[in-house]
């Protein structure tokens, strides 16, 4: 059984083989924690799109929130609205209050919304009090928007992964932005992949503003996917919503594990998901049973 590993954002400038090795090393720890032997497959693909995504984002020249005030605002109203809504959703899910945001607000106007960039910036600054930090959240929000809003970016990133997907059955493990990429790709009618089990970890798919950019068409089980398992750490700012009936109402429903204890500094790192015993067992069983 083939295993396809799909990374998230912020992997630019890294060596593909070294990244793949680090994923597999963490998975080996998880298998050991589960009392399981090594995977019985050497057919493992690691499509690397980190440098291409960075190049495409630079080509779009979408500013970060921290740069918007200095540059006089964001020209694209839809983009500004998405940034605001996603930051609000992440802040609310993280337990950040309006009072906390207000303490970081340096403007005079009391209007709240995407046109008040002082307020949007204040939302962002509150993430400095979380383990993931404001800078990482800002980059994440920008990259998600660029991928979802620009078809040519989607097409070029998706093609890198499409190149390793065949009609041969496989197991797919996707992390962070990679879960959005895989969902988009597998929902494309031209994709002929046959996925025995899709395993998503640290996924932001359950966040409302992201869901809205994924539809139409309506949310559904991706084409060719027989089973979907999703795991997240409840302290992971990027993946605070389970993919359950309330957030991702599809049939068959997605199996969720919401008690991962991700040991990485930001609670979002891939190693803290792959070395979880239950996550590793879901991967193992999909390949070996």
DSSP assignment string, 122-186? HHHHHGGGSSS-HHHHHHHHHHHHHHHH-HHHHHHHHHHHHTT--SSEEEEEEETHHHHHHHHHH
Whether the predicted pLDDT of 109 surpasses 60: no
Average pLDDT value for the chain: 92
Task: Classify strands 228-231 and 169-175 as parallel, antiparallel or unpaired.
Answer: unpaired
* pLDDT value of residue 112: 63
Asked which of 143, 173, 204 is the last residue of a domain, the reply is 143
* pLDDT value of residue 68: 78
Residue with tokens 């019985």: 40
**Same domain for 174 and 250:** yes
pLDDT bin (cut points 50, 70, 90) of residue 118 is confident
Asked which of 110, 143, 176 is the last residue of a domain, the reply is 143
* pLDDT value of residue 234: 94
- Structural domain including 219 reads 2-55+150-288
**Same domain for 136 and 121:** yes
For the record, the structure tokens of 232 come out as 């997240």
Whether the predicted pLDDT of 111 surpasses 70: no
**Same domain for 217 and 165:** yes
Q: What pLDDT digit, counting tens, does each position of 175-228 carry?
A: 999 999 999 999 998 998 999 999 999 999 999 999 989 988 889 999 899 999
Number of folded domains that form the chain: 2
**Same domain for 79 and 29:** no
Task: Tell me which of 93-107, 109-123, 240-254 is least confident.
Answer: 109-123
* pLDDT value of residue 183: 97
DSSP assignment, residue 225?
B
Asked which of 82, 114, 143 is the last residue of a domain, the reply is 143
Dist CA 243 CA 232 (whole Å): 10
Q: Which of 111-115, 127-131, 166-170 has the highest mean pLDDT?
A: 166-170
Q: What is the mean pLDDT of residues 96-107?
A: 87
Whether the predicted pLDDT of 39 surpasses 70: yes
Q: What pLDDT digit, counting tens, does each position of 47-99 carry?
A: 999 999 999 999 998 888 888 766 666 667 888 889 899 999 999 988 999 89
Task: Tell me which of 7-16, 205-214, 226-235, 263-272 is least confident.
Answer: 205-214
pLDDT-above-90 percentage for the chain = 72
Which residue in 74, 194, 191 sits closest to 142, CA to CA?
74
Whether 54 and 109 have beta carbons less than 8 Å apart is answered as no
**Same domain for 218 and 157:** yes
pLDDT bin (cut points 50, 70, 90) of residue 35 is very high
**Same domain for 156 and 255:** yes
Which residues lie below 8 Å from residue 197, measured CB to CB, with a gap of 6+? 171, 172, 226, 227, 228, 229, 282, 286
């Amino acid at each position: 059984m083939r295993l396809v590993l799909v990374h998230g954002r912020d992997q630019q400038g890294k060596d593909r083989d070294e990244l793949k090795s680090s994923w597999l090393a963490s998975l080996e720890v998880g298998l050991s924690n589960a009392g399981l032997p090594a995977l019985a497959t050497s057919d493992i693909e690691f499509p690397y799109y980190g440098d291409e995504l960075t190049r495409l984002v630079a080509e779009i020249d979408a500013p970060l929130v921290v740069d918007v005030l200095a540059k006089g605002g964001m020209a694209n109203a839809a983009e500004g609205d998405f940034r605001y809504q996603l930051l609000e959703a992440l802040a609310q899910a993280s337990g950040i209050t309006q009072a906390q945001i207000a303490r970081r607000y340096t403007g005079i106007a009391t209007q709240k919304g995407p046109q008040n960039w002082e307020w949007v910036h204040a939302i962002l600054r509150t993430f400095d009090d979380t383990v993931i930090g404001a800078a990482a959240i800002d980059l994440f929000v920008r990259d998600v928007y660029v991928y979802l809003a620009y078809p040519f970016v989607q097409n070029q990133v998706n093609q890198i992964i499409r190149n390793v997907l065949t009609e041969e059955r496989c197991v797919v493990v996707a992390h962070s932005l990679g879960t959005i990429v895989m969902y988009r790709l597998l929902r494309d009618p031209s994709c002929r992949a046959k996925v025995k089990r899709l395993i998503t970890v640290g996924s932001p798919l359950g966040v409302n503003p992201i869901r809205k950019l994924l539809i139409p068409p309506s949310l559904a089980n991706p084409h060719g996917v027989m089973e979907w398992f999703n795991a997240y750490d409840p302290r992971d700012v990027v993946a605070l919503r389970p993919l359950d009936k309330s957030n991702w109402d599809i049939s068959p429903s997605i199996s969720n594990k919401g008690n991962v204890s991700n040991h990485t500094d930001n609670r979002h790192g891939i190693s803290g998901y792959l070395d979880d015993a239950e996550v590793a067992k879901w991967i193992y069983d999909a390949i070996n049973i």
